[in-house]
Structure 1
């Protein structure tokens, strides 16, 4: 069996392992293994094959890490409309207490509302942004 075939088999096994675990970085490592297979197919030495696999695979992992790190994360499930149907609903805040909370009537029950940090609270219509414990985090409309 040719050396390049071994590289491709290991790369395929790495892709299959990624499908079971869901670790995206294993795909990046399999790209490095594919690069090692291409270098082996070109007839380079074993050292060149391993160097190519390490540089390409490691570089892909590092690039993927920094790209994913810069991207803003997904919203928390407490602020996701598909998880929490209260997010996006409009509520009426009659007035705010001195501690930054308000008692509001919503869905037939008494709720405690809190305002977003750094925003001066004012009465009136507000939109539910997130559920924080059993409190509604609201923003003014």
Structure 2
């Protein structure tokens, strides 16, 4: 019984270090297994109860995230600090790519799909790996991100 609760506490500490909800679900499942052990159920039922609680939590978390209409991480300004920042493009190459000076370094950038490849001021729409995805003009949400 104490083994389940000890491992649950370990996963809870790991959850606090990572900030995902998945390790929390594992910790809740382990706590359910510990509760089943405390109730005197066999090892098989302890494992089944832990798996059931973890899976129910996973399904609930998945449905909750789907209902929120997730914004992709690479274009979410609450996650990526660069979204909405301005850069100046002198000229695009024939593939819609360019090197821009941003935050003290040269970055690879490309024009967002469906946008005209014209020189001038652009804003960062998304970041994919080490490539900035640009759109012409200013960031539509706010002028305070510059």
TM-score, with length taken from structure 1: 0.51
Q: Distance in 1 between matches of 2:29 and 2:128?
A: 44
Larger Rg over CA atoms: 1
How does the TM-score come out when normalised to structure 2?
0.50
Flag structure 2 segments of 5+ consecutive residues without an equivalent: 138-146
**1:54 aligned onto 2:51:** yes
> What residue is the counterpart of 1:14 in the other structure?
8
2:118 corresponds to 1:122: yes
CA RMSD of aligned residues (A): 4.7
Deviations 1:15-52 (A, max 9, x none): 214535847534323312322444455x4643654443
**1:3 corresponds to:** none
Alignment partner of 1:100 out of 92, 96, 102: 96
Residue 80 of structure 2 aligns with which residue? 80
Contact 1:130 1:138 in 2 (8 A): yes
Number of residues of Structure 1 aligned to a counterpart in Structure 2: 126
Q: 1:51 to 1:102 in 2, by over 3 A?
A: closer
8 Å CA contact retained: 2:86, 2:121: no
